[in-house]
Structure 1
Amino acid sequence: MGQGIDPSRQIRPRLSLSPAQVYNAGKPGRGSFRAYFRTPDCCWQIGWPCYEGSSLLDALVAVPSSKGGPHLSTHRSANLANSLGQALSTPFNRFLLALEHKDFLTLWTANLCAGSAAWALIVSRAVLADEYTELYLWVGVVTFAAMIPRVFSTVITGFLADRFNRQTVLQWTYTLNLAHNLVLAALVMLGVVNIWILVVLSLFNGTLRSAQMTTTQSLVPNLVPRELLPNAVALNEATQQGSRFVGGLVAWLVANYYGIEPVFWACSLLYAIGLVQVARIATRSTGVMDARRGFLGNLVSGFSYVYSRPPVLAMILIVLGHCSLTMSYEALLPVIAQEKLAAGEEGAGFLIMGVGFGALITAVWLAGVQGDRTRGMLFLIFGITSGLGPIILAISSDPWISLAATIAMGMNQGGFMTITHTVIQTIVDDSVRGRVSGVYSFHVGGSMALANAANAGLVDVSFLNAPLVLSVGGAAFVVAMFLSLTNKPLRTIYFPRPAVAAAA
């Protein structure tokens, strides 16, 4: 006869598998699964149903290894279930579970390196442009050149990401960007670079960076199970947003101790590491081309897909406003750092670092958020508060308050963008994922490029300044978020109906 389990026994099991390994031992979506671990006197079997979002223990089965042999008995102990639930619901299991998939982890590290290099380049090029011309307009032009390729290159890149193997396309973007970084670093070191060379190389770098981001967004959903897609998208966005912190830190530390020139070599090293990682990705994936539509028809199909689906279109339009009004500050940070905070040329990197740090915190935290209702409410809150950080930064003249403001900017803006990517990638068909990612980047990148150039130009107008431009943009987006409550597709995202009520 099987032995019963005394509920009063305080058993503290020692897991032989990590929580993530226990989770991955199952096959989500196929009924239920079992995972095993041992205590000194028992082999425990844990099973629970694999419905989407489930992490509740369903049964605990003890198979004693002594005292009567392998007789099986079932007992549900509330105390033991709670103990095991806590053991399995660790921060790693909840927030970083997608990183247990090797290809996603490889892509994640590559994207972090490339993003950090890109942000360090943005800051360093802005400093060089200011040194060469002493006109903030040229700072905006250089930043504009790095961002405007998202208008004309991402649609083509999205097509390529659906037409060819996404890993191959991504590898080419890293290779060419590494070559660009080496050339730029050599020119800066030799002292032969000028403002026009800086603009041209910024344009080339921006084209490749846009292609890399679009292809990465298309590849991420192919590297993890569907139930982990929100977690994976949030973690990928953590590299996009958190790389501001790493890139800003690199630019600040290197420039502070060695000058601006070595920063470009550091960026080259980061891209080299990213290239090695991308080459290790084993997953092969493509989209689906419609043979009846021809090249041009397939190329623009992303636009027709987005414009014919109100929820997707509404998301892209609200993000367009968000990026234009609250996130187009790259050309303004050198001005604020030098004129308002007297922080010198490394101060812009310090401020970017604060934005990235805040964004990284929020993106990782959002990776553990489950449920559309929670995500929708956070989307609305992050949108409203996104405009407050720039206002605080604009009115502050204290370096520490300014740093706190940039951290707040990063947390709110990063949270808004993370949820945006999660929602879009969840509802878009994989057959057109690359082209939709291209259309998304077309709108977002184009708006940021134009806004950065416009902001820098406005600063050179006598009666305007960087703090005023920042605060007006932030306030305008707060108003836009309240107005968005009148839009039905956005309301369904902010306040989604419960699944049970919808089914009824």
Structure 2
Amino acid sequence: NLVNNLVLAVLVSTGNIEIWHLVVLSLVNGSARASQMPAAQALIPNLVPRHTLMNAIALNEATMQGSRLLGPAAILPLMLTTGIEGAFFLCTAFYAVSLVQGFRLRTESTGKVDRQRGLASNLAEGFIYCYKTPHLRALIYLTLLHCGLTMSYESLLPILSQQRLGAEGAGVATLMMAVGAGAMLSSVALAGVRSELTRGRTFFYMGILSGVAPAILAVSTTMPMALLGAALLGASTAGFMTLIHTMIQSTIPDGIRGRIAGVYSIHVGGTMAILNLANGGLADFTGAPLIFIVGGVIFIIAMAASLKSFSLRKIYTAGLSPQLQAVAD
């Protein structure tokens, strides 16, 4: 990521950037992140005591969500002064700090991989485990719907900002900061929750709010109202995803934790990438507000329908059972 972003910064600053450069660099960046994130997620349980696992996962999510606030806040002054070139060099510096911190890790994963089998076969074990385990299968399905219907908004925010608010670059950055602020506050708050009952009920309510928040953002005609909608969107979606990630990591055996984290990332990243592309193209015909509203309404219906699932209904009403959590011991 460091080298990739440095190349991008140099190409932009020298004026030699072309579309195919962006395509290749985006592919490299996405591939690197897709490898790094599951590895980091799988190492967390090896860094903290078992009884603090849920809180550690929530704090990790808070740092990731906080980047949505701190990132735009850091680059906004540069975009207004030096231009976008300075923003890319600053991002490169952030990657350098991350690399240095990564070298300080001395722990090792306790995952178990059959070296007699190939990469595809070992990864398939993660898919099989997810789809054969009822509560994991239900959570994965809900994740797909949530990411596709409420979180694939990156391609829509610039269009919405221009169509509804008459704001462009700085306006989009401000909206992203509001999303990040809501997301970070939500994740930090959830890190302090220890009651399974509270987690379960919060999970359901965050899902409902994830469908309501896009509609608030879509109907906004003033920046203050749009910022409120964006903050609610960030808080609800981040809270929902933090709880899902926490529940998955808390109920899987350590031996295949990395593979399941990879399966989870494939579902999340793949869904958001495809739907962001589709939403961006569709917005040219329908407008961004309608996509926000329709996606939110469909997800609210999906949350209501999920009450028919025994596994999900049990989580909503009582949280994770001790039997499910015992699997991760």
- TM-score by length of structure 2 reads 0.94
User: For the residues of structure 1 that align with 2:28 and 2:116, how far apart are their CA atoms?
Assistant: 34
Aligned residue identity for 2:58: A
- Residue equivalent to 2:305: 483
Find out whether 1:290 has 2:79 as its counterpart. Answer: no
User: For the residues of structure 2 that align with 1:189 and 1:499, how far apart are their CA atoms?
Assistant: 54
Identity %: 49
Find out whether 1:492 has 2:278 as its counterpart. Answer: no
Q: Which has the higher helix share?
A: 2
Which aligned pairs between 1:369-384 and structure 2 lie closer than 5 A?
369-384=193-208
- Residue equivalent to 2:224: 400
User: For the residues of structure 2 that align with 1:179 and 1:321, how far apart are their CA atoms?
Assistant: 34
Report the CA distance between 1:254 and its aligned residue.
Answer: 1.9
1:180-234 CA-to-partner distances (Å, cap 9, x unmatched) read: 0100000000111122211221111111112121111111111000001011000
Contact 1:254-1:260 within 8 A present in 2 as well: yes
Aligned residue identity for 2:254: D
Q: Which has the higher strand share?
A: 1
- Residue equivalent to 1:323: 147
- Residue equivalent to 1:189: 13
Structure 2 unaligned segments of length 5 or more: list them: 325-329
User: For the residues of structure 1 that align with 2:267 and 2:309, how far apart are their CA atoms?
Assistant: 19
- Residue equivalent to 1:444: 268
- Residue equivalent to 1:472: 294
User: For the residues of structure 2 that align with 1:346 and 1:468, how far apart are their CA atoms?
Assistant: 23
Aligned residue identity for 1:486: K
Report the CA distance between 1:349 and its aligned residue.
Answer: 1.4
Contact 1:248-1:349 within 8 A present in 2 as well: yes
Contact 1:320-1:447 within 8 A present in 2 as well: yes
User: For the residues of structure 1 that align with 2:240 and 2:119, how far apart are their CA atoms?
Assistant: 35
User: For the residues of structure 1 that align with 2:34 and 2:115, how far apart are their CA atoms?
Assistant: 27
1:77-121 CA-to-partner distances (Å, cap 9, x unmatched) read: xxxxxxxxxxxxxxxxxxxxxxxxxxxxxxxxxxxxxxxxxxxxx
Contact 1:341-1:399 within 8 A present in 2 as well: yes
Aligned residue identity for 2:87: V
Report the CA distance between 1:338 and its aligned residue.
Answer: 2.5
Find out whether 1:341 has 2:165 as its counterpart. Answer: yes
1:353-399 CA-to-partner distances (Å, cap 9, x unmatched) read: 11110010011111110121110000000000101111011111101
User: For the residues of structure 2 that align with 1:208 and 1:473, how far apart are their CA atoms?
Assistant: 30
Report the CA distance between 1:499 and its aligned residue.
Answer: 6.8
User: For the residues of structure 2 that align with 1:236 and 1:218, how far apart are their CA atoms?
Assistant: 12
Q: Which SS does the other structure have where 2:250 is aligned?
A: helix
User: For the residues of structure 2 that align with 1:443 and 1:187, how far apart are their CA atoms?
Assistant: 32
Report the CA distance between 1:258 and its aligned residue.
Answer: 2.4
Pairing partner for 2:214 from 390, 401, 408: 390
- Residue equivalent to 2:79: 255
Runs of 4+ in 1 over 3 A off after TM superposition: 290-296, 497-500
* Residues 387-396 or 245-254, more deviating: 245-254
User: For the residues of structure 1 that align with 2:278 and 2:208, how far apart are their CA atoms?
Assistant: 23
Aligned residue identity for 1:302: G
Report the CA distance between 1:252 and its aligned residue.
Answer: 2.2
User: For the residues of structure 2 that align with 1:377 and 1:497, how far apart are their CA atoms?
Assistant: 7
- Once superposed, what is the RMSD of the aligned Cα atoms? 1.7
Find out whether 1:236 has 2:55 as its counterpart. Answer: no
- TM-score by length of structure 1 reads 0.62
Q: Which SS does the other structure have where 1:355 is aligned?
A: helix
Change beyond 3 A, Cα 1:256–1:204: same
User: For the residues of structure 2 that align with 1:359 and 1:498, how far apart are their CA atoms?
Assistant: 23
Report the CA distance between 1:268 and its aligned residue.
Answer: 0.2
Contact 2:196-2:318 within 8 A present in 1 as well: yes
Q: Which has the higher contact order (CA 8 A, sep 6+)?
A: 2
Change beyond 3 A, Cα 1:498–1:301: closer
Pairing partner for 2:131 from 289, 307, 315: 307
* Residues 482-491 or 178-187, more deviating: 482-491
